[in-house]
Structures are given as structure tokens and as C-alpha cells.
Chain A
Amino acid sequence: MSRLAAGGLIDRTRPLAFSFDGRRLGGFVGDTLASALVANDVRLVGRSFKYHRPRGILTAGPEEPNALVTIGAGARADPNSRATTASLYNGLEATSQNRWPTLALDVLAVNQLAAPLFVAGFYYKTFMWPAKLWERLYEPAIRRAAGLGRLSGEPDPDAYDRDHAFCDLLVIGAGAAGLMAALAAARAGLRVIVADEDARMGGRLLAERHEVDDRPGADWAGEVAAELASLGARLLARTTVFGVYDGQEYGAIERLTDHLAAPASGAPRQRFWKILARRAVLASGAIERPLVFSGNDRPGVMMAGAVSAYLNRFAAAPGRRAVVVTATDSGWTTARDLLAAGVELAAVVDARDAAPPAAADQARAAGAEVLLGARVSAVAGRSVRAVEVAASDGRTRRIACDLLAMSGGWNPAIGLGANLGARPVWSSAIQSFLIETPPPGMTPAGAAAGHFALAEALRDGARAGSAIAADLGVSAPAIQPPPCSDDPRGVAAPGPSPASKSKAFVDFQHDVTVSDIELAAREGFVSVEHLKRYTTLGMGTDQGKTSQLNGHAVLAEATGRPIAEVGTILSRPPYLPVAIAAFAGHHRGRDFRPERRTAGHDWAVEQGARFIDAGLWKRPQWFARPADGDWQATVNREVNTTRGGVGICDVSTLGKIDVLGPDAATLLDRLYINTVSTLAVGKARYGLMLREDGFAMDDGAASRLAEDRFFVTTTTANAARIMQHIDYARQVLWPDLDVQATSVTEQWATYSIAGPQSRSLLQRALPELDLSDAALPFMGVVEFRWRGERARLFRISFSGEMAFELSVPAALGDGLVRMLFDAGRAFDAAPYGAEALGVMRIEKGHPGGGELNGRTTAADLGMGRMMSRKKDFIGRVLAQRPGLIDPDRPALVGLKPVEPGARLRAGAHLVDLADRPTAESDQGYVTSAAWSPTLGHSIALALLRRGPRRHGDRVCVHDPVRGADVEAEVCAPVFVDPEGERLRG
């Protein structure tokens, strides 16, 4: 056990049991999984992506590249979890990844022996030919060998929440700077949200031994958080702001139950926040940079700041005998932390020629060697046993140790600041990149703005918070940063140690070494973005948080350019991995998208309807009866019943729009190709609308209910689009017209009653109405009262039979359908669904979705003569373009198979019998097809070149995907009752 006897922010009264690869271990409340592993002397935690090299814990934060484990089991197994940020809970089960058969003995570690082969761009160079093998052999093999954790393959059993928040100031990161900024803003009365990834507010204050305002930093942070809460600020712990979006919008994930052993049943696991913030402070701190030397990836090599965090926050010693290797003053802070914790300090190796004198004296007094102007040249042992140091005198020393703490300086954590495309700018003062033009509304502060020392960070945070309050017009007394203990951190140039470059790792997670980057540079990949994609530098789940800058420094050196010129990459959301389920929230499975139900839905369910999606609507597709046998028989029966007696169909999903006002008729004249203004009150007319480019957009019926009152229907699919189109016409094109419009699709439940017996059925249902041809002729409309409510009866037919559409307020729709079938019992009325409706409209040659496909003109659909020449309408001019009036254009025809049993299918292409089917010989295609029970054979609608002049011709219906070619005869598109006698009864 390496748990220190005292100290830390853990609760020693609350022990926790957990397991790692089946080993039962113990920790305390307040531990992360990583700190508990450190306290249990677990050093080997994973295998690297490419070489399967043994890896240990590198960091103590979200930037961790190595310590990725699977937490949980079964469907709840969460792969690639960072052990460094996962809160420990009782019963936590963690397993290592990317190893086989075990972590200690990983067979694929032989990849290391082949390392010279696994150079930059290896995949691109090796697995190129033959291409066929890529899918079958290379990719599966590579996927097995490389990679990280595996998904369970089971549905995610957890629920995910979604919420929205608004604030004046969003503070990203609750360290010293973030807390000061939040305090300044909250005291000024701003609405403040503070989001921090950690379970506890405080940031680096929790990991260091500083005092703020004469008390331990962690206590100060706790008091500030309490004050913020009392001021009404919203504190979101365990919350990662992962993205910055246009319009000052931020995406964040709050982990609600990931730290709990037994979450309440049904409690959401995570919450996806969309936060709209007038201002934001990016106080995301800084990430310590590894030093690049041979063997820097061995277990036991750890970031110095992480060593301090494990000692100070978690009272866990990552080793017994330590060497600190540093390029800045901050490594000396860790040296002092090690001594304070009672860990033997073997040596401090500083690349510089001078060290902070007090710290150096303290180290020497404790018996540690102080080596200045020195560098680590090699690491001995699979897990660190000793380090070799190239001293300033040129001699190499070997120093035994089991922990190597390294510090290469700090990089501001500016990832979110670059989300909207601002290129980070090199700062020679801090030897790293900064955000100079942050996203609108964002202010980087503290270490994220390059102010690494504690006093600077507190001051910068206070300044940022006060400035934002003033900027938002709130005057408040300036807030004074509290006094604090402090020590310098210093800066150092990134890049490799000149002493050693072989197997010196830059990107630990993706196994990118110095030599990989140099090779890429030699091969011409000299842009950082190309380098990233070629070597995979920074493409791991950690997105290169510890590696990017060192990699770019190596590239700068290899190409002889200053790093300021080489630049660094932009970062895109998400800053840290986010579960897809968190984005989906409630909207998955059957709630993936909203569902629209008609008023008669429950009735249809009772009748055993099978439903089909029509946009968001659920429409009855057919109503099977046991005697039917199969769906085709059901549809045939529904068609036959309708054509022979009476059928009833729910047509409520059609779009319905009220077009009202003195100029309603004028507007409709400009929308439809035909004239509407001449329609008499109480009459309906079929109409077709074009787009302005001359192609057909939608069809429907317009009914005139009063001089200034029209009721317009659209197809189900285009309802929203036509509403939008009408609003465009009246608001943008012709705002001078006095016309109002609104969708009433939802107001009315509408049933079509069709068939020779339809009038008799209706007369029984509505005995008070006069349904004679004189009172209600074809295309007539009457309004009346049904059960005290407004109702409308239209004599309109889609099936070609005598038919009526009866509309009542949707709240009465269920009652209406039940009443209709009560009345229909005497007529053996049957419900019919969308499929039978489709068959009957094909039999009648009415255009549907297959014909109104955005590429057909009115003339193509046989409605050329409907186009009025007396008025302007949308699409009028461009419909006359030569290409659109070309008589050779494919136009609507009917097809019937020469062999009556043969089947025609939609999508099949038409070619002349003598031709081979090629793109050049193509004559058109089948737009809709169905089995016609009325005719006893397959029928189809098609768009055929010169089609209307080819009735009687025979063509080949070519369907290479689904079946053999079928010979068909071209005919008029109206198969049933071409004279329309049935309509009129």
C-alpha cells in the first residue's frame, strides 16, 4: 500500500471496495479510480494502441492518454473511461483494455519488435493493394489488433436527460481563476453558471498545498462555492463543457450517476445541457507537457503535477524512490511535495543551468542529488527501475528509482477557445499557444490565458469577472483577489530532449514517436493538419491534450521553421468524448421521432390495422381479416369492397389550410396553375401548384366556403411545405394582398366514404342532409352541424367512385368513424387503408408521390391544358422553357403487361423492345405500380418519352435488380372508368 498515513481530501472513514481486472482492491470516498490504483501500487493499467507497450497512469486529469479502462460490465460497460477522472464507488469493476490474454502478458506486444514497420503512414503504405483485401482481411485484422475498449453491443440500458440554461456568465472551470471570476460576477448580481469537470470545485487548488486567504486552497474553494450558491449561482460539478457553438451557445455533459454504486432506478445517467451564455470565462487551466526522451512512456513515468495531485489530494504515493526531471520551476514544487509526503527523493534533474535556490537547498539537505544542465537519456525497466541521466559534464549517470516525475512546462487548455475557428497564436513569453481572438463573448482567464502562477490566476479571474459585469452594464465595486502563497512555475520550450530520441514518445495513446514525426516531415507532411492525419498524432480519445504541442515542436525543428510559423491545430467539439446516447436523450427507440396520430387511431388499432409511416403520421396501411390469407388479398378485398359497395378511409392526414380574406381568391390564382377565383361558393376544384422553376410541386383541392373563405388541401407529405409556400407568397411576394392563412390540418378529422353505396350509407348516417345530385353535385361542398359542432361534407373522389369526404372537429373524429361503421353495417362497409387507396388512385391515373417527384411538369402529368393563359401564377414563365415543353419529354402513361400474370414494379426502366438496355436507350421509368384487383392484372404508371403518342406500343420493362424483363403495352393512364361515370353516380 502506498497510501500516506495522513492528509488528502479523501474520507478515510468511508472505505470503498473495487476491482481491477478481477483483483479486489480498496479505496476511499474522494478517490478517483486512478488514485485508488496508485494507492494500491497498481502501475500497469493498459496497453498502447499500436505497439501494445505497457502503460501506467500519466496524469491526474481529463487529459489522460494511457489509463483508459472499461468501467462496469454487461450492457453498462463503459469503455475508454479515464481512470483519472472516474470517481471511485463501492463495487466499481474496472478492466484493462487492448491486451490479450492478460494485461501482464500481452501477446501482441510482439508488435514492438516489428516497430520499424509501424512507421508513420504505415496503414497507407502497406495495405494498399489489392483493394479487395482491405475489407476482407486487413481491416478486420487491424481492428482486432489495434484499438481501445469494446462496446458491449447491447442496447444502452440507461436514460439520458436534456436541459437548457441561460445565464449572463458561464464559467468553464472552477479553479482559482474561474472561482474568482464567478464571484466577481455573482456579487455584481449577474446570473452565473459554473461548470467543472471534477466532483469538487477548486481545480489545481485541490492538488497543491497552497494557502489562499490564510486557509488551505481547497477550503477556500469550498467557501467560495458556498457563497456562489448563496448568491444564486448554479454550480454544475461533474460537468464538462465540451463545445462552443455559434451564438454564444455551449454544450455540456453533466454526469449524474456515473459515480454512484446504486443509482436510483430510472434516474438519468447523464444530462446534456445546452447553455446560452451572454459571456463566458474560459478558466480551463493548463495541461502539463511531458518531456520527450527515450522510454518516457514506461509505467512509473508520471507528470510532475500529477505526482503532486496524488500526494496532496489523494494521499497516495506513486512511488517509493523518486527522480524529478524538469525544465521549469514547477518540477521543484513536486520535489518539495515528495519530500513533504516522506517519499525518498533520489535526484532532481533540471535541464537548466540554474535552479530555484531554496528548493535546491531543501532537496540537497534531504539527501537528493541536484543535477543541473542535465537530461534523462533512458529509462531502465519495463516499469521504471532506474533512469540514465546525461549530466552537464557529458557523463551518463544511472540513478535507481521507481518513479520519474517529469515537467516540461504548461500549455494553456485552450481547446474550447479554438472551436469556432480562431487559430491559436504562439506566445514566446509562455512558450505555448494562446487564444488571441476568442469566440464572441468568451474571455480566457487564469492559466488558460497563460497566467500560471496562483496569485496571477486569482487576479486575472477577478479582473475578468469584474470586466464582464461592467461590460453588461452592472456597476459593482471591484473585487480584490485574496492573498495567497505562491511559487513560480516558469516556462520551457517544448520539444524533444536532444539526449535521446529513440522510442521517445510524443503521443502516448497513439504511439507516435519523434522519429515518426521526422519521417512524416521528410515525406512532405509539413502542415500540422496533414501531420495529424498522416501520423495520427492527437487523434486518440484524448485528442492530443498532452502530445500536440510537443509534436508540433518536433515538426518545427524537423522543417527548420519557428513553431510560431508551424502553428497548432484547431480543435473541434467535443473537447472530451461524449456518449451518443446523451445527445439523443429521450428521443430513441420508439421515441426516436414524434409520432402523429389521427383522431381515429385507437379505432383503427381496435380493427387490427397495420400502420405505415407517412412522414410523422401513422396511417392505417390495411385492415387484415383472418380469412384474407395475405396482405395482397386484404388489399384486393378492400378495393373490391369499395368499388363494389362502400369503403371508408381515414384521410385526416391530408394537409388542410384555411386561406381567408378579401384577396384569398387572388392569391390562390397565383398559386395554382388553374383559376380558382371563378369557383362558386359551395364548390371545390382540383388544383395543381408549380414551383417557380416550372415543375409540379403539389396537388389538392380548393373549396370555396364563402366569398373570402377558401379551404385548401395538400398531400400528406407536402402539408408543411405548402403552408410555408403560401406564407412566402403572401408575406414576401405579394404583401399588398389582404389575405390570411393558417393550417387547420389538426382541426379536422376527415373520412372518405367511397363506392356505389356511399350515398346510401351517408344518407342513413346523416338523414337530415339532402345528398341528391341537385343539392350536392360532384365537387360540391355543404356545411352543417353534427352533434352540435361544425361539419363539412365534400363530394370529392380520389378512388374514382362516387365518394364523399366528411369532416368534423378532430375531438369528434373517434365518434365519427364509429358512427359511420354503425351506419355502414347494413352495407357491409369495410375500412380501407393507404395501400388500397394507392391501388385505386393508380387505377384512376391520379398522380401521387411517384409522379409528383419534383422533376415532372404539369404537361408531363397530362395537365398541360389546365395551365391558365389568362393570369400569372408561380411557375408560369419557366414552365415554358424549351426543355420543359419538349414534346419528347417523358410523360405519364399507363402500362399493362402483355402476359397478364407478369408483375410490373415501380422503379423499373423502359426501353424499346429492340434495344439493349443502356443509359442511352432509356425511354423512361415506372413511377407507381400495383396489382389491380379490378382488372385482374398488374398495372403501372410510367413516365415514357413521347408517351402520350405511343398508346398501343409495346415496351420492355427492364428491372435488373429485382427480376426479369417484362413486356408491357403502353396505354392511357386511367385504367378504370375513363369516362368518369361512376363519380357522378
Chain B
Amino acid sequence: MRIPCPYCGDRDAAEFVYRGDASPVRPADGEGFYDYVYLRENPAGPMREHWYHAQGCRNWLVVVRDTRSHEISGAVMARSDRP
């Protein structure tokens, strides 16, 4: 599987570390931490995920992957993916 790193280009998935759903946002105050840490959607379809290009540019990416087909429709740097 290849992941299109916005900086490095298409790379073998083995260069990356998977983290999971990119949607949860760390709460600013004490509320909402259970959901942030533990609650995850499990969609059958496109999902925004955090991947770390550990063996490349060492950037965290938000990768959109279809969980049914592994088809990857895009990737951006996580730091520029603020809602």
C-alpha cells in the first residue's frame, strides 16, 4: 500500500506509523476527555486518519482512507488540517 505524503510523495505504507481516527480534538478544558480518548466511530467508508511518516519527513498526516477498500483519496499535513 502506498500513502501519498504531501512532502515526500507516494511512499510504502511501511514507512508510516498508524494512529487512528483524526477527528477527535483535544478538549480545551477538563470536559470531554473520555470521548476524546476512548470514543471512536468505526465507519465503513472514507475515514480521516492520522499517520506519522516516521521513516520519512517525520510529519503527522491526515490521510483519507476508505476502510472497505484501502483506497486512499488524499493526504494533507496534520498541522495544516485545523478545523
Contact = CB atoms under 8 A, between A and B. Distances in A.
The short answer to whether A and B are in direct contact, CB under 8 Å, is yes
Given A692-B36, A727-B59, A878-B37, A276 B52 contact: no
Contacts of A878: 33-34, 37
Interface string B2-31: 100000000001000101000000110010
Contacts of A249: 1-2
> What is the predominant secondary structure among interface residues of chain B facing chain A?
mixed
Interface stretch (A192-200, A399-407, A481-489, A731-739): A731-739
Bin chain A's interface residue count. 20 to 34
Nearest to A440: B71
B1 A724 contact: no
B52 A247 contact: no
B37 A692 contact: yes
A127 interface: no
Given A440-B71, A878-B33, A732 B60 contact: yes
A705 interface: no
B1 A731 contact: no
A249 B59 CA distance: 24
A877 interface: yes
> What is the predominant secondary structure among interface residues of chain A facing chain B?
mixed
Interface in A350-398: none
B33 to A, nearest CB: 4
Contact of A724 (B26, B30, B52, B69): B52
B79 to A, nearest CB: 4
Contacts of B79: 731-732, 735
A851 to B, nearest CB: 22
Contact of A735 (B37, B50, B52, B82): B82
Interface in A232-248: 245-248
Contacts of B26: 692, 733
Given A247-B2, A247-B70, A731 B59 contact: yes
Nearest to B59: A731
Contacts of A456: none
Contacts of A723: 58
A479 B82 CA distance: 51
A728 B52 contact: yes
Contacts of B69: 420
A158 interface: no
Contact of A727 (B33, B37, B38, B52): B52
Given A246-B1, A693-B37, A724 B78 contact: no
Contacts of B70: 246-247
A731 B37 contact: no
Contacts of A276: 2
A414 B6 CA distance: 35
Contacts of B78: 731-732
Interface string B33-67: 11011100000000000101010001110000000
B37 A732 contact: no
11 contacts: A245-B1, A247-B2, A692-B37, A724-B52, A727-B59, A728-B50, A728-B60, A731-B60, A732-B79, A877-B30, A878-B37
Interface of A: 245-249, 276, 420, 440, 692-693, 720, 723-724, 727-728, 731-733, 735, 877-878
Interface of B: 1-2, 13, 17, 19, 26-27, 30, 33-34, 36-38, 50, 52, 54, 58-60, 69-72, 77-79, 82
10 cross-chain pairs, A with B, having the tightest CB-CB distances, nearest first? A247-B2, A246-B1, A735-B79, A246-B70, A877-B33, A247-B1, A731-B79, A732-B78, A731-B60, A877-B30
